[in-house]
Amino acid sequence: MADLTLNRLDKRYGGFHAVKGIDLAVSDGEFVALVGPSGCGKSTTLRMIAGLEEISGGDILIGERLVNDLAPRQRNISMVFQSYALYPHMTVRENMGFTLKIAKRPQAEIDAAVAEAARALEIEPLLDRRPAQLSGGQRQRVAMGRAIVRSPDVFLFDEPLSNLDAKLRGQMRTEIKKLHARLGATVVYVTHDQVEAMTLADRIVIMRDGHIEQADTPDEVFNRPATRFVAGFIGSPPMNMIEAEVRGDRLRAPDGAELPLPQAFRDRVSEGQRVTFGLRPDDIYPTGHGLHAGTQVETRPLEVELTEPLGNETLLFIRFGGQEWTSRMLNPRHLRRGEVVEFQFDLSRAHLFDAESGLSLRDA
Amino acid sequence: MKPWRLSPHILLLLPAVLVLLAVVILPLILSFWSSLTPFRLTRPDSIYDFVGLRNYARLMGDGQFWSAFGRTVLLLTVALNLEMLLGLGLALLIERASRGQRILRTLLMFPMMFSPVLVGFQFKFMFNDNVGLVNNALQSLGLTNSAIPWLIDQHLAFFSIVVAEIWSSTSVFAIFILAGLMAMPRDPLEAARVDGCTPWQTFRFVTWPFLMPFAFIAMTIRSLDVARAYDIIKIMTDGGPARRTEVLWTLIARTGYADSKMGMANAMAYVAILLSILFTVIFFRKLAQSREQIAAEW
């Protein structure tokens, strides 16, 4: 195991600037998830770490070793691919032992390593099958087995669960988490699924357009998003956001609707400043159905436009300030469409972003 | 009385059966029958003299026949192996070309557009000891002063024939292997690089097993081709000098048409076909094996 450092890492494809000089330090044993929309540069970053893409600028260090110009095989990394990338003509056993065989390790050692990995992943009965005879979930396990057999410095995962169905994905997520706890491995994990990132990672790196928007713990990126983009990307259903202007101690939406300025931001905005106001669905709820006890709560009677009952909670859609808001009602009671209900806005949990830069106006 | 009628399924199959009968079965029976007679084109009556397996028995002890047989197998082995190596090399090079790949692929097909007879004439000219391009070039470069008897020396003549075969047919291998390369998933290659493979090991352990079925398809096609090799050799050396480049079909044609011993020629042809069948079976087995190995879905 080793730590991993990216210094001003850069990638250009001709005129396209895919990764724009990112800095990232992953410490030994840390699980870091790279998330972001398609084309944000997360996979490219991972492939540069693996050595499958040449880097256009900057440095990659694994441990103390500069690996910029080393071939993938010289970097001592393992990678799990989205398509699993198993060797179709080899049995599961051969697939898993292949990297050690190439390294010319003694057969006894290969057998032992494969047996141990197979036991850990519960794929011992499959060892003599070929990949074509396995289900998607089994192939996924074999791909992970192939990665751990080698005991690499860094594990790289490239959207490993996106080809699985939802149920299996949940299982494998737990599986990966256990594996990480057991191996204490340094992991870089690329995904577009924020749930995977939130549940697995020690630290989440949210990327957009080739740069890092925020790199922090799941708790921080959820509760203290550094930018409007992060606020919108993390959380499901997404955060409600509305453009507004500061008018004294109030915020005014374009259609004239007003809300009090959240207290936490009172000294951080100037009169007339254009801001984006954000509030998670958890923080708007019919009176008595909230999650937190807010310290600055604004109550408004609003009409329920649509309901989505989910059993343990119901999502309510309401209109305010000229746009649709999502509200999460816990311990749901039956509400009909068109009913007018008192909604509470927990402003102590609100977010404000500068409308121009998209940066959070919260104190750093 | 009820009129007699063929049932519909027999009626519908009848045209196919009749055509097959006329163009395949009948000639087969006829030629097989004639291989059991001393049939000579000059004495048509001789087709009625049944001699049993005498032609075949004579063949077994016929040195000329067996040397032609052996030479055909040798030609098959040498030409096919070289064609595969060269075809593989070409395919790998073309696959790497990021620009102009379509043009290269088209160019690759060019040798296949020429009739083997013309290829034979062209190489016969090139390897001519007096006016040929090859000797001319070698002499101009100062590599030799003598006129090398390319088509006259036994070994050189065989070599020249192999060159002509390779020139005209390497592209069969190149095209099939290129198709394999293009159909190949990229991810296992990257996995191999991460797993520690050098480029050679990646090729040896990942790329080649995947390409094998494609190579075997080309092998099957080409083994049938070479086993019936006739035209290029007929033109370049006509089995000469002194029958030293004689292969099965030049011998069969000579026996049947020049010596007009059609009964004997047919017996030879049946043995020759056994050879073709043998090679086809071998390569088909290999093909099936390698397909199963990569879990091909075709």
User: What are the start-end ranges of the E strands in A143-248?
Assistant: 154-158, 186-191, 203-208, 211-216, 240-247
Nearest to B295 among A72, A77, A88 (CB): A88
Query: Does the pLDDT of residue A156 top 60, yes or no?
Result: yes
Q: How confident is the model at residue B256 (pLDDT cuts 50, 70, 90)?
A: confident
pLDDT given at position A364: 62
Q: How confident is the model at residue B298 (pLDDT cuts 50, 70, 90)?
A: low
Query: Does the pLDDT of residue B109 top 80, yes or no?
Result: yes
Cβ separation of B196 and A86 shorter than 8 Å? no
pLDDT in tens, A17-28: 999 999 999 999
Query: Which backbone phi and psi does A227 adopt, to 5 degrees?
Result: -140, 165
Q: How many CB atoms lie within 10 A of CB B4?
A: 5
Query: Does the pLDDT of residue B92 top 70, yes or no?
Result: yes
pLDDT given at position A218: 95
Mean pLDDT of B136-165: 85
Query: Does the pLDDT of residue A206 top 60, yes or no?
Result: yes
Half-sphere exposure for A317 (CA within 13 Å, toward CB): 11
pLDDT given at position A228: 94
* Domains of chain B, first to last: 62-297 (1.10.3720.10)
**Which residues 211-270 of B have a C-beta within 8 angstroms of A?**
none
Closest chain A residue to B208, measured at CA: A89
A52, B188 Cβ separation under 8 angstroms: no
**Considering chain B, what percentage of its residues have pLDDT values greater than 70?**
98
Q: How confident is the model at residue B139 (pLDDT cuts 50, 70, 90)?
A: confident
Mean pLDDT of A84-100: 91
Cβ separation of A103 and B209 shorter than 8 Å? no
pLDDT given at position B297: 55
Closest chain B residue to A75, measured at CA: B194
Question: Taken in order A228, A229, A234, A239, is the CA torsion positive or negative?
Answer: positive
- Token pair in block for residue B237: 């050396």
- Going by C-alpha positions, the residue among B150, B146, B172 that lies closest to residue B159 is B150
Give yes or no for A13 touching B (CB within 8 A).
Answer: no
Cβ separation of A78 and B191 shorter than 8 Å? no
Selected residue with higher pLDDT from B224 and B144: B224
Omega of the bond leading into A237 within 30 degrees of 0 (cis): yes
Give yes or no for A146 touching B (CB within 8 A).
Answer: yes
H/E stretch holding A260: strand A258-260
Asked if ipTM goes beyond 0.90, one says: no
Tell me what the pLDDT averaged over chain A comes to. 91
pLDDT given at position B2: 65
Nearest to B209 among A79, A89, A103 (CB): A89
Nearest to B295 among A51, A83, A130 (CB): A130
pLDDT in tens, A248-271: 889 998 888 889 999 888 888 888
| Amino acid at position A189, single letter | Y
Mean pLDDT of A155-180: 88
Cβ separation of A88 and B188 shorter than 8 Å? yes
